[in-house]
Structure 1
């Protein structure tokens, strides 16, 4: 079992998931890159499991770790850092 981290793009008008962008980054590197990310009380500093909404600045900082290019549109979409288990 492997943890997968993604940026999820949700349409603001209906909260529908439009696309996932795969991240190639460890939780430690996420915390170092997003030094202003405040973890939830039940999340761990060595692993990030909860979902976190990203600001434009945060998305810009983490974009170099995406496996494909993203062209963010914060007027139309909301972006969220997510983690899930890949059972492949």
Structure 2
């Protein structure tokens, strides 16, 4: 089982998931890169399983770790750091 971390792009108007951007980064590097990320009480620094809404500055810090480019539009979309199990 592999954990895949992604940035999810949701439309603000209806919370529709428009796209997922795959990240090539481990949890420790996420915390080092997003030094202002505050984890939930039930999340662990070496795992980061919960979803977190991202600010524009946080999103920009993660762009270098994306497998494809992004042109963020914070007025139209909400961006969230998430993960899921990839059983394939």
TM-score range, shorter chain: over 0.9
Query: What TM-score, normalized to structure 2?
Result: 0.99
- Could you list the runs of 5+ residues in structure 1 that have no partner in the other structure? none
What is the RMSD computed on CA atoms of the aligned residues? 0.3
Q: Report deviation, 1:45.
A: 1.0
Deviations 1:41-88 (A, max 9, x none): 000011100000000000000110000000000000000000110011
Secondary structure of the 2:6 match is strand
Aligned pairs, how many?
88
User: In the TM superposition, what are the counterparts of 1:22-33 in structure 2 within 5 Å?
Assistant: 22-33=22-33
- Could you list the runs of 5+ residues in structure 2 that have no partner in the other structure? none
For 2:60 and 2:46, the matched residues in 1 are separated by 23
For 1:22 and 1:45, the matched residues in 2 are separated by 20
The residue number in structure 2 matching 1:82 is 82
